[in-house]
Amino acid sequence: MHHFFHPSTTSLKVCGVTLESDAHQLVAEGITALGVNFWPKSKRYLPPVDAAKFLPALKEKILRVGVFVNAPTQEVLSLLKEDIIDVAQFHGDETPEYCAPFAENGHPFIRAIGVKNADSLTNIHDYQASAILLDAHAPGVYGGTGDTFDWNLARTFISKNPTLPVLLAGGITAENAAEATTLVHPAALDLASGSESTPGIKDFDKIRAIQAAISTAQ
């Protein structure tokens, strides 16, 4: 599996990309992974037909993650099979039963969990996910809020599950990326709000500052 999922170092995933030019600039900046949001109600929604115009050319240059919220299985499968994305990120109410066919057919996926309290982190292995993403609990909007959660819960979860790749999300910015890396030691930091000037438009000063903070912290 891609080194993005290796829990020994902290990588960066920049989510909510809507512009082809931003995607190419993320490659040029050496970012490990990008996320494109396929949930129609997201402020960062990109229709699959538009993503299909530029994501294929980025294969092997950056890990291409598609973010879904309760999407029909066939929609996710066709983007994976057509090689438009490398990995699916399930950021809604997807159950272990929904995830099972992806695991059984060798399609890599990240299951995002909105962390409300310690109880949110039980039965995570039931999803058979390639990686787990821990985000702030966001009823109704699912993610992309810019809110943080209690990172001690993430740190404890990782120390109990050292071989499971865990991504930390929710309100990561240039100001807190170093602390997030040092305290939690996630396989990656994942962010949308903290990497943009307006929803869906990336701010490369912020992204470079986050990269520098991660490098210094580890």
CB of 152: closest distance to ligand LGQLAAA5 in angstroms?
Answer: 18
Work out which of 31, 63, 67, 115 binds ligand LGQLAAA5, going by CB under 6 A: 67
Residue 114, interface with ligand LGQLAAA5 (CB under 6 A)?
no
Residue 176, interface with ligand LGQLAAA5 (CB under 6 A)?
no
Catalytic residues: 15, 135
A 10 A CB-CB count for 153 gives 17
Q: Which is nearer to ligand LGQLAAA5, 105 or 208 (CB)?
A: 208
Residue 137, interface with ligand LGQLAAA5 (CB under 6 A)?
no
The answer to whether 168 touches 186, Cβ cutoff 8 Å, is yes
Residue 189, interface with ligand LGQLAAA5 (CB under 6 A)?
no
Work out which of 7, 108, 143, 186 binds ligand LGQLAAA5, going by CB under 6 A: 143
Alpha-carbon span 187 to 7, nearest angstrom: 4
Which range in 21-29, 73-81, 136-144, 154-162 contacts ligand LGQLAAA5 by CB under 6 A?
136-144
Work out which of 48, 108, 144, 165 binds ligand LGQLAAA5, going by CB under 6 A: 144
Which of 166, 171, 170 has its CA nearest to residue 184? 166
Residue 94, interface with ligand LGQLAAA5 (CB under 6 A)?
no
Nearest-CB residue for ligand LGQLAAA5: 144
Contact footprint for ligand LGQLAAA5 (CB under 6 A):
15-16, 35, 37, 39, 42-44, 67, 69, 91, 135, 142-146, 169-172, 190-194
